[in-house]
Structure 1
Amino acid sequence: MSLFISSLNSGSNGNCYYVGNEQEAVLIDAGISCRQAETRLRRLGLPIRNIKAVFISHEHSDHISGLSQLAGKYQLPVFITPETLQNTRLVRHVFPIRPFSSHEPVQIGDLSITAFPKYHDAADPHSFMISCRGTNVGVFTDIGVPCDQLIHHFSQCHAAFLETNYDEEMLAQGRYPYFLKQRIRGGKGHLSNQQALDLFRAHKPAFMSHVLLAHLSKDNNCPQLVRDLFLPHLNTTELIVASRNEETPVFRIGAN
């Protein structure tokens, strides 16, 4: 069965990723307003009624700022770990709360969502693999280093949202204070372009049809720069750079 994916927004100003089949879908994070999410879904022709749940990767505002309004309006169950929930300021009873645990799949219709821990400076951060009858899509952003679990899941993906947050030289020479540069590149911050490319080159499966480069820094990266870095290594994989300001097209993943 095919999966349909789109980045509704990707960056420090808000993150929200759509993955679904023809009947049901989930959002990974809700860091844009309810109105923005509704508008972008409508432009893409994706019915909001198909969204059955929201999964939260961690508590930083660019991943949850629109959650209360969106989940409250549509009464969407929100899957979030207890540790992450404790570190938010969410109004806890305006939408259903569902805890999840690492490595324990959650079934949403035909979708199976599996979370696994990642290195990031948050209470209990997780990445996600969304599967549907043999088709796998990964959402891998806000990652300090590519750990063994990330490598394992990435190597099974037909498509992946993969963080390429910063260019190392741009970050080093940029205007950020030293402590912030160290946070970004210190192992619990974000993946650089080169770290992401190394992961892609070493562990991309031959059947990966799409890679969506995600969470680009406004100040420390450039879409054309990262595109040029990846282009020689794509083979048959289609490259998309997810925007900080608008949705990507919908991509169909899987042959059946």
Structure 2
Amino acid sequence: MRFAYLGSGSRGNALVVEAGSTRVLLDCGLPLVEVDTRLARLGLVASDLTAIVVTHEHGDHIGGVAKLARRNQLPVWLTAGTRAAWKAAPDEWLRTLTPHRHLTIGELDVMPYPVPHDAREPCQYVFGFEGRRVGVLTDAGSVTPYMREVLSGIDALLLEFNHDRAMLMNGPYPSFLKQRVAGNKGHLSNAQAAELLGSLDISRLQHLVLTHLSETNNTPEHALAAASDVLGAQPDWLVCAHQDAGLDWRHVN
């Protein structure tokens, strides 16, 4: 089992999760030309994909999904709320999922779970294969007990460290946008993500990837320092995913 990011941040998100012959793309907020270029960096082409799974309807997560699905005839899995809110939805390729209910895509077990974010019915995912689990959490303004339960004891955690609160509040964003980002249905700060990390069972953790870093209100150094404080060190399996460079393949052993 392995995973890689095509890109992570407010200008577009896309993650590939692979198990056996199954390759799922989680979100696609990138133009098709970028998708093709970044897949090629990973040794893939779009026709290698099995399906697309969507977290929510915001453009940095869903902007490229319709064109990619239609061009490559890929099924798109998403919640009923996301489907209702998505004006460009390619209806012929859509498959509806229910949070809390597992589904199987090829060789991958996919567990969606709801998160607090300012979208219609947002959810995040844990991907499983032969006893190994990769958990993804971005685009959540706060942490629920169920989120802690779902993400505890996993093998790889891909976790939003969106902003440094001081940088956000002292930065250039207008007041309403600062309140949205910092709100209970916005994005996780470094401190919130670190607190969540500290509450989890990380005894099996092989990879910790810090994702969805704000280019305006955060730096990799701030995010890595917050995570390292919780871990007591900065191990080589702690990395940031980047907006343009993404993240190369990481293997879950």
TM-score tier (shorter): over 0.9
Bigger Cα displacement from structure 2, 51-60 vs 229-238: 229-238
Match of 2:160 in 1: 163
Bigger Cα displacement from structure 2, 40-49 vs 173-182: 40-49
Question: Using the alignment, how far apart are the partners of 1:239 and 1:91 within structure 2?
Answer: 36
Match of 2:123 in 1: 126
Contact 1:209–1:237 (CA under 8 A) maintained in structure 2: no
Q: How does 1:1-256 map to 2 (within 5 A)?
A: 3-93=1-91, 95-234=92-231, 238-254=237-253
Question: Using the alignment, how far apart are the partners of 2:201 and 2:247 within structure 1?
Answer: 22
Secondary structure, counterpart of 1:245 in structure 2: coil
- Displacement, 1:23? 0.7
- Displacement, 1:185? 1.1
- Displacement, 1:12? 0.8
Specify every segment of 5 or more residues in structure 2 that has no aligned partner in the other structure, as ranges. Answer: none
Question: Using the alignment, how far apart are the partners of 1:41 and 1:120 within structure 2?
Answer: 28
- Displacement, 1:92? 2.6
Question: Using the alignment, how far apart are the partners of 1:70 and 1:52 within structure 2?
Answer: 12
Contact 2:207–2:237 (CA under 8 A) maintained in structure 1: yes
Deviations 1:130-158 (A, max 9, x none): 10111100110001111112101110320
Question: Using the alignment, how far apart are the partners of 1:146 and 1:25 within structure 2?
Answer: 29
Contact 1:165–1:215 (CA under 8 A) maintained in structure 2: yes
Deviations 1:19-40 (A, max 9, x none): 1113111111111122211211
Contact 1:110–1:133 (CA under 8 A) maintained in structure 2: no
Specify every segment of 5 or more residues in structure 1 that has no aligned partner in the other structure, as ranges. Answer: none
Contact 2:153–2:200 (CA under 8 A) maintained in structure 1: no
Question: Using the alignment, how far apart are the partners of 1:91 and 1:123 within structure 2?
Answer: 14
Contact 1:5–1:251 (CA under 8 A) maintained in structure 2: yes
Contact 1:211–1:237 (CA under 8 A) maintained in structure 2: no
- Displacement, 1:14? 0.5
Question: Using the alignment, how far apart are the partners of 2:169 and 2:99 within structure 1?
Answer: 35
Question: Using the alignment, how far apart are the partners of 1:211 and 1:106 within structure 2?
Answer: 25
Structure 1 residue ranges, 4+ long, deviating more than 6 angstroms after superposition: none
Distance 1:28 1:7, change over 3 A: same
- Displacement, 1:228? 2.2
- Displacement, 1:46? 3.3
Question: Using the alignment, how far apart are the partners of 1:13 and 1:49 within structure 2?
Answer: 24
- Displacement, 1:237? 7.0
Question: Using the alignment, how far apart are the partners of 1:129 and 1:34 within structure 2?
Answer: 26
Q: How many residues align?
A: 251
Secondary structure, counterpart of 2:50 in structure 1: strand
Question: Using the alignment, how far apart are the partners of 1:163 and 1:60 within structure 2?
Answer: 16
Question: Using the alignment, how far apart are the partners of 1:49 and 1:160 within structure 2?
Answer: 27
The sequence identity of aligned pairs, in percent, is 35
Under a length normalisation based on structure 2, what TM-score does the superposition of the two structures give?
A: 0.94
**In the alignment, residue 185 of structure 2 is paired with which amino acid?**
K
Contact 1:170–1:220 (CA under 8 A) maintained in structure 2: yes
Contact 1:208–1:237 (CA under 8 A) maintained in structure 2: no
Question: Using the alignment, how far apart are the partners of 2:45 and 2:251 within structure 1?
Answer: 16
Secondary structure, counterpart of 1:138 in structure 2: strand
Bigger Cα displacement from structure 2, 232-241 vs 138-147: 232-241
Deviations 1:204-247 (A, max 9, x none): 42110101101111111011121122224436671111101122
Distance 1:170 1:7, change over 3 A: same
